Chains A and B, each alone.
Chain A
């Protein structure tokens, strides 16, 4: 039972024929050519397959592509569309990642956190990233960089508020 679905992928409507047993991750990687979501554990524990579904971080390995019909999907390709974001630049500057397998998921989970909560506490950052496993870094540089980006964006806001007044 093949069915055509339409998803808004990184801002662009894409139509694709899927079988009900294809996961969103399968279809993104295999049929839509989007390779940043990775298959790690394949059961929702590792976070390597994280994508944003209607703005929320979810596990694309635990979602059937057919369930996402009509919804908006953002992958890392969509986040860096207009050049690297402040978060990505900071990750790069601090040389945060090593092998990079977890990086797409980490960046998307961090971006979703900062969009919903621009000034998170360290606890909130750790909580938001708790489902993204990294076997290289020990997490410290990742958490520190997310906090650094949040602090800088707060300063920028204060500065622009001052400039206006």
Chain B
């Protein structure tokens, strides 16, 4: 089945031109196109019907991974395959190596971008928990200049973000600092699937924990109660993990849908949190498997 809806296509070569294409009126409005793995599927479904697509893949500003102003920079149009391969991401934000490796399949990861993933802003967005625990900042270009939006203010609801109409996400900056992390994604089967639930955790050298969940609320969200409980603990014991799991189950708001029941999601988030915390603690101590595993398929001990 092809795409029935008709639209214009523009591929600007500069940011200024791209903003102009997004601003120029057209019936149905203009939307930005990055990897297209969500957008083209939605166009086929008739879920969206814009009058114009503005392809951002020609913009230099959205490409590349690097260190900028003492922070890790990831361009919005960087595909997941490039994140997985990047030595800089592996060094400074290895959680994103682990979460990106669990996005769909190789054929999708070669195309789908991190910027597109957070702009689609579906509740199961695989990049959400990782960017939240890194307290990343979203850099946005608007007609009036550059804006910075902290990740915690980014997600407003399912498919809704703080991105103002007509503006463009340039990329993400992530603060640096010694830490360990882990990402757990629950799927119905091996191979590609959307998350039934996901948990990202990050712990720094002082034992300060950051926790975030995906697919268990209208948006990816932080877990402040679990973070407070674990504060300062670098080697959590079984009793503390049990308490943390109970708190995790209480600070999420899962629903029942085609992939899972709310009860299953809630209970599994407890299990996943325990595994992810144990794994991150082991990695902080210099043990544990290299980043890029599927925590839910391998024994995390």
Contact = CB atoms under 8 A, between A and B. Distances in A.
Query: Helix, strand, loop or mixed for chain A's interface?
Result: mixed
Given A44-B104, A59-B37, A62-B41, A21 B5 contact: yes
Interface range on chain B (Cβ under 8 Å from partner)? 20 to 34
Interface stretch (B106-114, B172-180, B211-219, B276-284): B106-114
B3 interface: yes
Contacts of B44: 42-43
B36 interface: yes
A20 B40 CA distance: 11
Contacts of A62: 36-37, 40-41, 108, 111
Contact of A45 (B6, B40, B192): B192
Question: Which of A3, A39, A44, A113 gathers the greatest number of chain B CB atoms within 10 Å?
Answer: A44
Nearest to B40: A62
Interface in A9-65: 19-23, 26, 39, 42-45, 47, 50, 53, 56-59, 61-64
Interface in B46-63: 53, 55, 57
A23 B3 contact: yes
Contacts of A50: 107
Interface in A108-165: 109, 112-113, 126-128, 130-132
Question: Which of B11, B44, B107 gathers the greatest number of chain A CB atoms within 10 Å?
Answer: B107
Contact of A58 (B41, B43, B111, B191): B111
B212 to A, nearest CB: 25
In the A-B complex, the 5 residue pairs with the smallest Cβ-Cβ separation, listed nearest first, are A131-B105, A20-B9, A130-B191, A21-B3, A56-B110
Interface of A: 1, 3, 19-23, 26, 39, 42-45, 47, 50, 53, 56-59, 61-64, 66-67, 109, 112-113, 126-128, 130-132
